Amino acid sequence: MGLARELTMGKGRPRRNGIAANPDYAALRHLTRADNPDTDLMRTILDRVGANPARMRFKEGAIYIEACQRYRGLTGEDYGPRLGTY
């Protein structure tokens, strides 16, 4: 039935993990878990992710909020959803 399905309905939706495909979210996840992360790089990536006009998916938002909390804990500077940068 595989070929018949392809001929009538198409191949279907390709499975993509958009979060793993985006290097910014992978870097945020890595920096959040690091013992001594580079805060300048973290701020740059947070700015780039926050400036994206596309709406975040739930997993992306969770990674972003977790990274903002970690950044706030490291620097003491408020950043993220509290300031409306989400």
Q: Mean pLDDT for each consecutive 10-residue tract of the chain (86 residues)?
A: 67 61 89 94 92 85 92 89 59
Measured between alpha carbons, how far is 4 from 83 in angstroms, rounded to an integer? Answer: 53
Quote the pLDDT of residue 63.
92
What pLDDT sits at residue 82? 65
Cα angle at 66 between 59 and 40, to 5 degrees? 115
Q: Break the chain into its structural domains and give their ranges.
A: 18-83
Output the pTM of the full model: 0.71
Please tell me the predicted confidence (pLDDT) of residue 54: 82
